[in-house]
Structure 1
């Protein structure tokens, strides 16, 4: 890689870091603006007829604080002080230390699936919009959801390959659950022991708020050793061919907290479950888990179209921002002509305003489409334009004025766009698309490179 390419890489990394920092600052400032709006509304109207508006402002303030501001701050801080190597703990997506690793296994993914299902455990659904809405509904109505998803935790920088759970008394708020991560090829436990899988099992006792982020989450029981022993007992009872080796003092016994702020305690023992002697029936139908993500340019090119939810949401919100900006203009009277403009001049001005609005709509649609296709330049352009707009608005609303309802909505949309486009999923996916295009372009003859983008990039 030549010096110009290295320089471009450094500049791109600098822009990504600045954009991430700006998103964090904007979310914090937005929380301040909403809090100020709430206090002024209470002072002017009390808690009378305007109570609903006050409650909405408070709800927005909590949502921004819990799901945008605090997680981003934790990601920045934990990157400085949490070790980036295996220390016997999983990590949350925000970088906080998660549940401890309290199980290790030898064997294949199929053997784990067979053993867990034979022991009466249900494989958790993947997290998506449908499963998220279903677990919220089930928790509120106290209805059973045996395959409810579990939150994502990271080990080796990767999310769990799969998870299993077992409801208690038909309540999704109370359940036994365990996550599994496949170990990298050739990786050894501290001390030199080889295992194929690591797992973290805990017991959800209730639903509450995270101590560190204020997000709605499950609260776990502090005695994680009891859950570890429960998982072991259920496997050994259902699959007698398994054997267990106890690795004493894998960690020193300790008291700590997980990523949700729940107290945990353990004696530091790590059981190693050997499932290799287990013979699989021909009808198990288990699905093997892939060991690695594709890394070659050709494999990445095949990933085109598998865009993350954050990119799709940002593309839609870019179009929505045109409507919210129009609503703000109407609210502020920017599209209302003064009475002293009459006749042909009035018509000319009206046509100019309409043309400007149409141009803005078309430009937003084009940018949204380019972002949807994974164009990194479009993502950077949107981040830059929104950042400039937010700097102007925050300068105005933090010093003197208080935003109206439509302006608050417009700022909310812009904050969501910048957070979606600076998320790790959006950033990694657009960089993969760029690498795929460069790799495919380099493999073509010079005469055929000009037509490459149209031939290889699609929805």
Structure 2
């Protein structure tokens, strides 16, 4: 146990352990529920009148079920230390690390600009929509975002690219990660940055998740040499040392299922002798500390649940001149029996709705206990649904609780994601709830 853990009060350690256990349980339950939802959608899409459900089935399978399944499985069979490969957000082995650098971030930014590279935009709502429209309409987008890959447990600090033929579907690109303080390559060789350069040749479907993604050219060594040539043109005489056979030469596949091959050599580019010229524009930070999309999406789902409860309570409390059996759709005998419970029950529903709105606001602002509470409510609803099915009830289907079940699954997937956990933990650690630079928490065990 580390010194920081020993200094924490015992109660705080116990709370943290309970939260970690809850996160693991919700993470796994979210994956199982997503697979169940995909199976339900596939069943409903087999009817000609609902064949359009195949699109919904693909979206759920590719963007919810398979990524979560890969994340759970890779945590079991892949080592959690440096193996010379980046990882995808789903935990799969991604692009090989094929370049190392010495020097600070400003020196890298200056050299990359001089070498004719463009810094990639951060991945967000606007940039994601822009790259989709640019790809479909075959428009140029020279600073299109790249997908996140992870090294040292965190996303790349920044990426650079060169668009080819004015198409965002084809481009040279390279991601950069700063090394942890004191970290060395195997063999005791110190470097400041590691990078992974590959060439995107087209757009297609991932072999492992069926998501739309860029397809990578097989020879990553050619892209590594292209990057080196551009750096040498920008800084003639730049020292480059190559570690021969840093990794065994191999043929393999990246996180999208594309075949890749490399000779295993690792060049180390030393930019330290080249100071940044005066007057060079400064670069923004590595990543802005914006709220992750899963947090925004999850808080909206919780808020929607609260608004629905308030609408239900308002409809019951203000039935107008309609009899109770008409306003609630109940038989007259049952309506009379429930007459005395109407106001207390409606108050409870209204209080639940107000509590959900408060919970959504707290989730949006990064309160970890609120995130766990919201997941617990959705998990309870999913477990109750599963229990009813095991006891003979019908599976949720089109027009039969499918929407409510789907929203609970979506909420559980969103708020149990790594990005949502990292955001909540970061806000919890920071005094006053201020944002810190993002870092990925340990993957669920």
Per the shorter chain, which TM-score range?
A: 0.7 to 0.9
Size of the aligned set, in residue pairs, is: 415
Indicate conservation of the 8 Å contact 1:328/1:410, yes or no: no
Tell me the equivalent position of 1:108: 104
Q: 1:341 to 1:93 in 2, by over 3 A?
A: closer
Q: Shift of residue 322 of structure 1?
A: 4.4
Question: Mapping of 1:27-38 within 5 angstroms?
Answer: 27-38=34-45
Indicate conservation of the 8 Å contact 2:119/2:143, yes or no: yes
Question: Mapping of 1:38-77 within 5 angstroms?
Answer: 38-39=45-46, 42=47, 46=48, 50=49, 53-55=50-52, 57-77=53-73
TM-score if structure 1 supplies the norm length? Answer: 0.82
CA distance in 1, matches of 2:207, 2:308: 34
Indicate conservation of the 8 Å contact 1:29/1:394, yes or no: no
Deviations 1:178-204 (A, max 9, x none): 011111222221122222111110000
- What secondary structure sits across from 1:125 in the alignment? coil
Q: 1:388 to 1:234 in 2, by over 3 A?
A: same
Q: 1:14 to 1:109 in 2, by over 3 A?
A: same
Tell me the equivalent position of 1:183: 179
Q: Shift of residue 388 of structure 1?
A: 1.2
Indicate conservation of the 8 Å contact 1:253/1:265, yes or no: yes
- The answer on 1:419 being equivalent to 2:400 is no
Indicate conservation of the 8 Å contact 2:150/2:156, yes or no: yes
Deviations 1:104-133 (A, max 9, x none): 112221221122111211100011110011
- What secondary structure sits across from 2:328 in the alignment? coil
TM-score if structure 2 supplies the norm length? Answer: 0.85
Tell me the equivalent position of 2:296: 312
Tell me the equivalent position of 2:398: 404
Question: Mapping of 1:164-313 within 5 angstroms?
Answer: 164-287=160-283, 307-313=291-297
- What secondary structure sits across from 1:79 in the alignment? helix
- What secondary structure sits across from 1:87 in the alignment? coil
- The answer on 1:377 being equivalent to 2:369 is yes
CA distance in 2, matches of 1:19, 1:417: 11
> Unaligned stretches of 5+ in structure 2?
1-7, 316-325, 436-445
- What secondary structure sits across from 1:27 in the alignment? helix
Indicate conservation of the 8 Å contact 1:202/1:224, yes or no: yes
- What secondary structure sits across from 1:285 in the alignment? coil
Tell me the equivalent position of 2:24: 17
Q: Shift of residue 377 of structure 1?
A: 2.6
Greater CA deviation, 169-178 or 313-322?
Answer: 313-322
Greater CA deviation, 147-156 or 370-379?
Answer: 370-379
Q: Shift of residue 71 of structure 1?
A: 1.3
Indicate conservation of the 8 Å contact 2:310/2:353, yes or no: no
Deviations 1:334-385 (A, max 9, x none): 932335578x989877766755553332222122123223333322222111
Q: Shift of residue 264 of structure 1?
A: 0.4
Indicate conservation of the 8 Å contact 1:163/1:178, yes or no: yes
CA distance in 1, matches of 2:114, 2:169: 23
CA distance in 2, matches of 1:276, 1:407: 62
- What secondary structure sits across from 2:397 in the alignment? coil
- What secondary structure sits across from 2:142 in the alignment? coil
Tell me the equivalent position of 1:447: none
Quick one: which of 305, 316, 331 aligns to 1:321? 305
Tell me the equivalent position of 2:116: 120
Deviations 1:291-311 (A, max 9, x none): 9x9xxxxxxxxx8xx543322
Q: 1:202 to 1:327 in 2, by over 3 A?
A: farther
Q: 1:114 to 1:6 in 2, by over 3 A?
A: closer
Tell me the equivalent position of 2:4: none
Indicate conservation of the 8 Å contact 2:102/2:270, yes or no: yes
The alignment yields a C-alpha RMSD, in angstroms, of: 3.0
CA distance in 1, matches of 2:399, 2:130: 31
CA distance in 2, matches of 1:324, 1:58: 28
Indicate conservation of the 8 Å contact 1:328/1:406, yes or no: no
Q: Shift of residue 21 of structure 1?
A: 1.2
Q: Shift of residue 5 of structure 1?
A: 3.6
Indicate conservation of the 8 Å contact 1:204/1:219, yes or no: yes
